[in-house]
Amino acid sequence: DIQMTQSPSSLSASVGDRVTITCRASQDISRWLVWYQQKPEKAPKSLIFGASNLESGVPSRFSGSGSGTEFTLTISSLQPEDFATYYCQHYNSYPLTFGGGTKVEIK
């Protein structure tokens, strides 16, 4: 099974800050990676697919990069509505696996 490791597990940031979250795969997954945002008591929402493709309707302050085993999600200027938990997930093979999540909190 492919293990997905996210870091950090949590972070505190202020509105306007640039935030970067890292996701590492235990083996090469090419660009078969998606990033989700989840707010409390809500379903996850896909933000970035194919490692760097922005979903329709997602603000351009979100961006993704990487390939192979190392990936990043960047929020260029954190907004109040961005405080949430972010998950990466690979879809290279079965079983599909998620990272442990990164909780972005208000500083």
**Which of 62, 66, 87, 104 lies at the binding interface for other proteins (CB under 8 A)?**
87
* Residues shown for the chain: 107
**Which of 5, 13, 50, 67 lies at the binding interface for other proteins (CB under 8 A)?**
50
Give the interface size with other proteins as a residue count (CB under 8 A): 23
**Which of 8, 59, 91, 106 lies at the binding interface for other proteins (CB under 8 A)?**
91
96 CB contacts (<8 Å, ≥6 apart)? 89, 90
**Which of 44, 52, 67, 83 lies at the binding interface for other proteins (CB under 8 A)?**
44
Give the residue carrying structure tokens 């442990």: 100
Dihedral, CA atoms, 24, 101, 33, 61, nearest 10 degrees? -110
Contact 86, 34 (CB under 8 A): no
Whichever of 24 and 76 has its CB closer to other proteins, that residue is 24
What is the contact surface with other proteins in residues (CB under 8 A)? 32, 34, 36, 38, 42-46, 49-50, 55, 87, 89, 91, 94-101
